[in-house]
Amino acid sequence: MVQDIVSWLLIAGGAFFVMVGGVGLVRMPDFFTRLHPASVTDTMGAGLLLTGFMVQAGASLVTVKLVLILVFLLFTSPTAAHALAHAALLDGLKPWTGKKDGAP
């Protein structure tokens, strides 16, 4: 019972942060600012959701696999984000600074 409540809270939190990431992806003004909400999804969203699943699965091989998925996501997502941002900068994409005039 307690297990169910804890996992429900974790999954609800994860779902919330995943959605925030999606909203941010649509709302933010330029590419570089969009990277930040995407990283909310990748860390908090995925972390809470998978932890919620782990609590639901209990001590079993399923939990081990969920941990592996989480560790893998946490190792690869910053690498992918860094590669994206680096490539965009090299390509000459200018970060938005919020200035209405002057800035190119």
Partner 1 sequence: MAHATSLFAVLYGVWLALSGHYTLYFLLVGAVCVALVVAIAMRMDVVDREGHPMHLTWRVPGYWAWLMWEIMTSAVDVSRRVLAPRLRIDPVLERLPTSQKTDIGRAIYANSITLTPGTVSTDLRDGMVQVHALTSGAIERLRQGEMDARVTKLEGES
Partner 2 sequence: MFMAATAALLVTIALALARAFAGPSVYDRVLAVNSIGTKTVLLIAALGFLAGRPDFLDISLLYALINFVGTIAVLRFIRQSRAQEGN
**Residue ranges in contact with partner 2 by CB under 8 A:** 7-8, 11-12, 14-16, 18-19, 21-23, 25-26, 31, 34-35, 38, 41-42, 45-46, 49-50, 52-53, 56-57, 61-62, 65-66, 68-69, 72-73, 76-77, 79-80, 83-84, 87-88, 90-91, 93
Pair 61, 30: CB distance under 8 Å: no
Q: Which does 1 bind (CB under 5 to 8 A by kind): partner 1, partner 2, none?
A: none
Q: Give 59 or 61: the residue with its C-beta nearer to partner 1.
A: 61
- Structure tokens that stand for 40 in this block: 């909310």
CA–CA separation, 51 vs 40, rounded Å? 16
Site of tokens 């779902």: 15
Q: Give 20 or 56: the residue with its C-beta nearer to partner 1.
A: 20
Quick count: other Cβ atoms within 10 Å of Cβ 52? 21
Gyration radius of the chain's alpha carbons: 18
- Least distance between partner 1 and beta carbon 49 (Å): 13
